């Protein structure tokens, strides 16, 4: 069989999508197709990224397009298309706009890349995963949402800053829904093998948890226009790389639960093994009473989002 490089399509060439494309190409994960309804944006950014290859020394091809035919046969498709949060746009408006965008993207993905693993990034994440799964009708192994890596990398960053240590030696697990109902698990956070709970007082840990929980809002306020994109893109790339290189990394991702943690039919952030088939395994861990309460609350928030979809006829 002739050698075929991995193919990754990124839908949406905005801040997150274009940054994903740049990082994927730079890391040589595979050839990248960047698709947007705005053809000029997709083509211009793809060409700009391709022109970094001579300096960054990578061989990946990068193509910009508005035509899904160019994405055909992708191994991984990342969906970042959608409208960002804007002043004056209600939560329901955003839910409705992005549900339509994600549904239309997924119909095309299903047609052109029926074997792909699809990673959803568009917010509100847990609801968009639900819409994507319904449209794609792919097995749950091939529909995932990016959330937990970003939430936990924010928490890890704040822990490293607080302790003045390398973030490389800070491990953390964040579960539950994306955003302010996320459930950081300090009991499962380690700094060079030492439990975080032995290094910081509970009140300090709670302050860092709170900052991570509001991590997205902090950046939105600073930027004034738009939302975070470097860390979200880097988190997507970690998931895509683990799948495309069959690394079997254990990463917190939004996955469709089928009874794990006592939840069925909802996308919730849980520790996942990601490999060549996509979701290889959901790692079920025991929750203590406080973690259970926080997790159940978070699952309730995800359920409320899904109920909102039904209420709005989406």
Q: How far is the CB of 298 from ligand APR (least distance, A)?
A: 18
- Residue number, 62 or 189, with CB nearest to ligand APR: 62
Q: How far is the CB of 253 from ligand APR (least distance, A)?
A: 15
Q: How far is the CB of 100 from ligand APR (least distance, A)?
A: 8
Q: For residues 146 and 267, what is the distance between their CA atoms, to the nearest angstrom?
A: 11
Residue 142, both tokens: 């091939």
- Residue number, 38 or 247, with CB nearest to ligand APR: 38
Are 299 and 307 in contact, with CB atoms under 8 Å apart? no
Backbone angles phi, psi at 142, to 5 degrees: -115, 20
Q: For residues 172 and 215, what is the distance between their CA atoms, to the nearest angstrom?
A: 15
| Catalytic pick among 100, 112, 178, 188 | 178
Does the annotation mark 178 as catalytic? yes
Q: How far is the CB of 228 from ligand APR (least distance, A)?
A: 7
Residues in contact with ligand APR by CB under 6 A are 11-17, 36-38, 41, 80-82, 84, 101, 104-105, 121-123, 226-227, 229, 232
Q: How far is the CB of 49 from ligand APR (least distance, A)?
A: 15
- Residue number, 142 or 178, with CB nearest to ligand APR: 178
Residue 205, both tokens: 């840990």
Give which of 62, 6, 74 is closest to 34, Cα–Cα.
62
Q: Where are the alpha helices (DSSP H) in the chain?
A: 15-26, 39-50, 53-56, 91-112, 125-136, 148-163, 202-213, 215-223, 230-244, 289-311
Q: For residues 204 and 253, what is the distance between their CA atoms, to the nearest angstrom?
A: 26
Q: For residues 81 and 36, what is the distance between their CA atoms, to the nearest angstrom?
A: 8
Q: For residues 36 and 94, what is the distance between their CA atoms, to the nearest angstrom?
A: 19
Are 173 and 152 in contact, with CB atoms under 8 Å apart? yes
The residue at minimum Cβ distance from ligand APR is: 14
Catalytic residue set: 178
């Amino acid at each position: 069989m002739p050698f075929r490089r991995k193919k990754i399509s990124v839908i949406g060439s905005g801040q997150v999508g274009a940054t994903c494309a740049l990082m994927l190409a730079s890391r040589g994960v595979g050839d990248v197709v960047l698709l947007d309804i705005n053809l000029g944006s997709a083509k211009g950014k793809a060409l700009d990224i391709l022109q970094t290859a001579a300096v960054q020394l990578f061989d990946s091809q990068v193509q910009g397009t508005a035509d899904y035919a160019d994405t055909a046969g992708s191994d991984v498709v990342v969906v970042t298309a959608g409208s960002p949060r804007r002043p004056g746009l209600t939560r329901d408006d955003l839910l409705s706009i992005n549900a339509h965008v994600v549904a239309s993207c997924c119909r095309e993905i299903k047609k052109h890349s029926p074997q792909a693993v699809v990673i959803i990034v568009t917010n509100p994440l847990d609801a968009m995963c639900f819409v994507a799964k319904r449209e794609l009708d792919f097995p749950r192994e091939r529909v995932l949402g990016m959330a937990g890596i970003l939430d936990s990398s924010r928490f890890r960053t704040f822990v490293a800053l607080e302790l003045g240590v390398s973030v490389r030696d800070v491990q953390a697990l964040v579960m539950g829904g994306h955003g302010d109902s996320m459930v950081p698990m300090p009991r499962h956070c380690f700094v060079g093998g030492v439990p975080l709970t032995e290094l910081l007082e509970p009140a300090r840990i709670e302050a860092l948890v709170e900052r991570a929980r509001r991590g997205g809002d902090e950046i939105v306020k600073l930027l004034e226009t738009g939302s975070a994109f470097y860390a979200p893109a880097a988190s997507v790339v970690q998931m895509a790389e683990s799948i495309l290189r069959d690394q079997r990394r254990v990463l917190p991702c939004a996955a469709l639960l089928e009874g794990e943690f006592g939840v069925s039919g909802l996308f919730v952030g849980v520790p996942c093994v990601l490999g060549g088939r996509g979701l290889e395994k959901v790692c079920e861990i025991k929750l203590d009473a406080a973690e259970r309460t926080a997790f159940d609350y978070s699952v309730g928030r995800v359920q409320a989002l899904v109920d909102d979809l039904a209420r709005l006829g989406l």
